[in-house]
Amino acid sequence: MVRWRRRSTDDGYSTLLGGWSDEDMEGLLATLRPSIEKRLEEGADPKAIEAALSAGFAEAVPKVIEQIAPQIEEDLRRTSPGMLRWRRSGRAQSRKAIDASWGEVFDLLDIVHHACFEIGATVRHLGPERDGDHRFEALTFLHARACTVASEIDALLRAGYPSGARARWRTLHELAVISSLLGDGDDELSERYLAHTVVAEYKDALDHESTRDRTGLPAYDPADLESLRKSYEAGLERFGKSFKHDWAWAAPTAGIEQPNFRQLEELAGLEHLRTWYRSASHLTHAGSRGTADVVTPVPGGHVLLTGPTNAELSGPAHSTVISLMQVTVTAAFNARPESEPHPAFLAGIRAIQLLVDAVGDAAAAAEDRVEGFRAEDEAYLEHPGRGRAYGLRLSRIRRHLERQFVLALRRRSKVMSQRWRATAMPPDDEEPEPDPGTAWL
C-alpha cells in the first residue's frame, strides 16, 4: 500500500503535493509489478517492456489515487484546527486594517443605504392604494432588490474584495437602467416586464429537464411543467413571438423586436456608465481581461491576488451609492404619479445627493491614504539592503492604527505550516501571518 505524508519542499513550503518519497515510488512499482510480470510471461519481447510498463501504470494509478486520497483527507482534518484559527485570526486582522483606512466611507455607505431604505419603505406603504398598478409593483420590487445588492456590495467592500464589489455593482447598474425605463414608461411596459418572468422560468425548466440525468436533480412535476408551458405560450400569444427573447419586454420602448442592454442603457440616459459596466463585466465573466487583474503590484514585486486587499475600494463604493440613489429617485417620483412628489421625498432625495457627494470625497481621500502607504513602502524598500533583508518580494500586510504604520512581515511558509498543525491556541499577543495571495498597501 502506498502511504502519503505531508512533507516540506526544499524552500520549506509544506504542500499536499510534497508527500512523495523513494519509498512511495517503491510501493507504486510493487503495485505495477504483477501486471508487468504477467505480460512478460505471455512472451512479450524486451521492446514490449516499455509498453507493458505504460499499460501497468495506467492500470495502477487509479488504485494508488484511491489509496492516497483518504490519507490526504485525514491529514487535512487532523491539521485543520490550527489552520482554521490562523485563517480566522487573519480575517479579523484584515477587517481591522481595512476599517482603519475606510471606516468613514463605510459609515457614509450605511447612512445612504438606510436613507434609501426608508424612502423605499415609505413608498411601499402606499401599496394598498395602488392595487393593480404594474408600474408601482415593478418599481418597488426593483428598489427592494437594489437595497439587497447594495448590502452585498457593502459586505464585500468591508471584507476587502473590490473586484467582487464591482461585479455586484454591475447588477445594481442594470437595476437602475430598468427602473429608469419603467419609471418613464406606461403601465403596459411594466406589465410586459413582470410578465416576462414566465419566459425565463420556462427556459430554466427546460434546461433543468435536459440536464437532470447528470445533475441528479429531481424531475419537474409534469403538471407544473405543463402549467409553465401554457403560461409561456399565452405570453407569446399576447405580446408576440419575439417576446421569447431576452429584453424583449422593452421592445415597444426600444422600437425593435430584440433590443440589447446597451440600447436600453442609452434609452435610460445612463450610457455614460458604460466604461464602468464593461470593466465590471470583465470581472463577472471568465475572459482573459478580468483574469489578468489577479496580477497585483505590491512593494517589491507582484502577487497573484487570492485574498483581500485594502486598495481600489473607492470606485465600487462611490458607484454603488450613485446607482442606489438612481433607483430610489425613480421609486419616489412614481409613488404618486398623478401628482407632484411629496416635499418630504424631495428633501430626502436632496439629502441623499449630498451624502453621495460626501461618499465620493471620503473614498478619494481614503484611496489617497492607501496610495501614500504604497509610496512609503516603496521608499522604505529602496533603502540599501532593506528589501533583501526583510524578504518582501511576495507580500506582507500593512496595518495602521493610531496613525502608527507597522509592517507585519510574512514568515516562511514552513513556519505557517507548523502553526497549522499546532493543537494549542496561539498566544493572545501573537500576530497572524498574511495569506500569500493577500495584497496590502
The answer to whether residue 147 is domain-embedded is yes
Same domain, 194 and 329: yes
Mean pLDDT over 61-88 rounds to 83
pTM of the model: 0.77
Please identify, among 58, 77, 96, the residue that sits at the C-terminal boundary of a domain: 77
The answer to whether residue 273 is domain-embedded is yes
Total number of domains in the chain:
2
Question: Residue 285: what are its φ and ψ, rounded to 5°?
Answer: -100, 180
Quote the pLDDT of residue 73.
85
CB 277 within 8 A of CB 418: no
**How far apart are alpha carbons 206 and 96 in whole angstroms?**
47
Number of neighbouring beta carbons within 10 Å of residue 431: 15
Same domain, 145 and 45: no
The answer to whether residue 1 is domain-embedded is no
Same domain, 333 and 195: yes
Same domain, 28 and 130: no
Same domain, 194 and 285: yes
| pLDDT tens per residue, range 328-345 | 999 988 876 666 777 878
Same domain, 68 and 112: no
Listed residue (94, 96, 144) closest to 123, CA to CA: 144
Same domain, 321 and 230: yes
Q: Tell me the Cα Rg of the chain.
A: 29
All residues at 6 or more sequence positions from 173 whose CB lies less than 8 Å from its CB, including other chains: 270, 273, 276, 277, 280, 319, 323
- What residue numbers bound the domain in which 30 lies? 16-77
Please identify, among 356, 386, 409, the residue that sits at the C-terminal boundary of a domain: 356
Q: Is residue 427 scored above 60 in pLDDT?
A: no
CB 183 within 8 A of CB 333: yes
Same domain, 52 and 189: no
Same domain, 207 and 73: no
Number of neighbouring beta carbons within 10 Å of residue 250: 25
Same domain, 49 and 112: no
The answer to whether residue 397 is domain-embedded is no
Please identify, among 356, 373, 390, the residue that sits at the C-terminal boundary of a domain: 356
Same domain, 112 and 51: no
Question: Residue 369: what are its φ and ψ, rounded to 5°?
Answer: -60, -45
Q: Which comes out higher in pLDDT, residue 363 or 13? A: 363
| pLDDT tens per residue, range 181-201 | 999 999 999 999 999 999 999
CB 109 within 8 A of CB 358: no
Half-sphere exposure of 307 (CA within 13 A, CB side): 19
Q: What's the per-residue H, E or C state across 258-274? A: CCCHHHHHHHCCCHHHH
Same domain, 34 and 149: no
The answer to whether residue 179 is domain-embedded is yes
